[in-house]
């Protein structure tokens, strides 16, 4: 099983509050891989908005994203693009998700 991980720092203007967390979860749900977000000593399922919000990740903080599965690399790359763009570069499929 393929695995991929990356450490990312959220921009100074965005933490993982409701709108960015929603986009993050919608993007993660596009992939079959198991995806987790690590912040400090806490871990969250990247596909569960409540768990992600409970991490309470503020602006300028660093998270680690880990994915395991057949599309792990693509999932991490898509989430990297989202975070590094300050949540402005969004996979269109995530926006269209119902």
38 is catalytic: no
User: Which whole-number Å values give the CA distances from 19 to 6, 25, 52, 73, 96, in the listed order?
Assistant: 22, 10, 12, 24, 15
Count of C-beta atoms within a 10 Å radius of residue 6: 15
Distance from the first to the final alpha carbon of the chain: 29
- Give burial (CB, 10 Å; 0-12/13-18/19+) of 28: buried
**Looking at 3, 17, 50, 93, which residue is catalytic?**
17
Active-site residue list: 17
């Amino acid at each position: 099983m393929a695995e991929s991980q990356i450490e990312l720092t959220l921009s100074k203007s965005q933490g993982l509050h409701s709108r960015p967390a929603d986009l993050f979860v919608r993007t993660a749900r596009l992939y079959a891989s198991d995806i987790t977000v690590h912040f400090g000593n806490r871990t969250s399922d990247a596909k569960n908005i409540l768990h992600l919000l409970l991490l309470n990740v503020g602006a300028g903080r660093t998270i680690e994203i880990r994915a395991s599965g057949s599309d792990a690399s693509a999932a991490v790359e898509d989430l990297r693009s989202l975070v590094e763009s300050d949540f402005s570069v969004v996979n269109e499929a995530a926006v269209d998700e119902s």
